[in-house]
Structure 1
Amino acid sequence: MRIVMIVLLLMSSLVMAQPSDELSQKLSNLEQEIATLYQESLTKTGSARNVIDMQLLNKNNQLRAVLKDLIDSRTDETTPLLTKYVKQQASFISRASKFLGEKITAEEKKLDEAGQEEKLMVQKRLDEARRFYTEMLGQQWVNYKWLETLGIPDPKRQAELIKDIEHRLEFMSASLTFDSQQEKMLSKQLKAASEAEKPSLQILHLLAQRNLASDIDNLNFLVELANKMDIDTTAYTQQIFQTTGNLTDDILNPKVLIALLSTWAGNVGQWLLDNTPQVLFKVFVFGLIIFIFNILKNLSRKMVARAVASPNLRMSKLMQDFFISMSGKGVFIIGLMIALSQIGLDLTPILTGFGVAGIIIGFALQDTLSNFASGMMLLIYRPFDVGDFVEAGSVSGKVSHMSLVSTTIKTFDNQILIVPNSKIWGDTIKNVTHERVRRVDMVFGIGYSDSVEHAERVLNEIVDAHPAVLRSPEKTIKLHTLNTSSVDFIVRPWVKTDDYWDVYWDITREVKLRFDKEGISIPFPQQDVHLHMVKNQPE
Structure 2
Amino acid sequence: MDVESIINLGTEIVLEYGPKVIAAIVVWVVGMWVIKLLISGANKVMNKSNLDVSLKPFLASLFGMTLKVLLAITVLGMLGIEMTSFIAILAAAGLAVGMALSGTLQNFAGGVMILIFKPFKVGDVIDAQGYVGAVKEIQIFNTILKTPDNKTIILPNGGLSTGSMVNFSTEGRRRVDWTIGVAYGDDLDQARAVIRKLCDADARILKDPEVVIVVSALADSSVNFAVRAWVESSDYWGVFFDMNENVYKTFAKEGLHIPFPQMDVHVHK
**TM-based fold match above 0.5:** yes
The one-letter code sitting in structure 1 at the alignment partner of 2:258 is: I
Partner of 2:9: none
Residues 1:321 and 2:46 aligned together: no
Match for residue 161 of structure 2 among 425, 428, 433: 425
Partner of 2:72: none
Q: How does 1:66-145 map to 2 (within 5 A)?
A: none
The one-letter code sitting in structure 2 at the alignment partner of 1:474 is: E
Task: Provide the rounded CA distance (Å) in 1 between the counterparts of 2:56 and 2:252.
Answer: 59
Task: Provide the rounded CA distance (Å) in 2 between the counterparts of 1:435 and 1:517.
Answer: 37
Partner of 2:264: 528
Partner of 1:447: 183
Q: Which has the higher strand share?
A: 2
Query: SS of the counterpart of 2:52?
Result: helix
Instruction: Note the aligned Cα RMSD (angstroms).
Output: 3.4
Partner of 2:193: 457
Task: Provide the rounded CA distance (Å) in 2 between the counterparts of 1:327 and 1:427.
Answer: 25
Larger Rg: 1
TM, length-normalised to structure 2: 0.68
Query: Is this contact kept in 1: 2:180–2:224, CA < 8 A?
Result: yes
Partner of 2:251: 515
Partner of 2:32: none
Give the drift of 1:428: 1.9
Map Cα deviations across residues 221-273 of structure 1 (whole Å, 9 max, x no partner). Answer: xxxxxxxxxxxxxxxxxxxxxxxxxxxxxxxxxxxxxxxxxxxxxxxxxxxxx
The one-letter code sitting in structure 2 at the alignment partner of 1:386 is: V
Q: Which runs of 4+ in 1 moved over 4 A?
A: 300-305, 327-331, 355-360
The one-letter code sitting in structure 2 at the alignment partner of 1:510 is: N
The one-letter code sitting in structure 1 at the alignment partner of 2:197 is: E
Give the number of aligned pairs.
216
Partner of 2:129: 393
Partner of 1:406: 142
Map Cα deviations across residues 96-155 of structure 1 (whole Å, 9 max, x no partner). Answer: xxxxxxxxxxxxxxxx9xxxxxxxxxxxxxxxxxxxxxxxxxxxxxxxxxxxxxxxxxxx
Query: Is this contact kept in 2: 1:408–1:418, CA < 8 A?
Result: yes
Task: Provide the rounded CA distance (Å) in 1 between the counterparts of 2:57 and 2:124.
Answer: 22
Q: Which has the higher helix share?
A: 1
Query: Is this contact kept in 2: 1:304–1:327, CA < 8 A?
Result: no
Q: Which runs of 5+ in 1 are unaligned?
A: 1-111, 113-188, 194-292, 309-314, 338-346, 534-539
Query: SS of the counterpart of 1:493?
Result: strand
Task: Provide the rounded CA distance (Å) in 2 between the counterparts of 1:303 and 1:516.
Answer: 65
Q: Which runs of 5+ in 2 are unaligned?
A: 2-12, 18-35, 69-74, 78-85
Residues 1:382 and 2:114 aligned together: no
Task: Provide the rounded CA distance (Å) in 1 between the counterparts of 2:150 and 2:205.
Answer: 28
Query: SS of the counterpart of 2:204?
Result: coil
Give the drift of 1:437: 0.9
Give the drift of 1:382: 3.4
Partner of 2:230: 494
Query: Is this contact kept in 1: 2:107–2:158, CA < 8 A?
Result: yes
Query: SS of the counterpart of 1:494?
Result: strand
Give the drift of 1:516: 1.2
Partner of 1:366: 102
Map Cα deviations across residues 267-315 of structure 1 (whole Å, 9 max, x no partner). Answer: xxxxxxxxxxxxxxxxxxxxxxxxxx9xx99xx979955x34xxxxxx4
Task: Provide the rounded CA distance (Å) in 1 between the counterparts of 2:104 and 2:150.
Answer: 27
The structure, 1 or 2, with the larger RCO (C-alpha pairs under 8 Å, 6+ apart) is 2
Give the drift of 1:470: 1.0
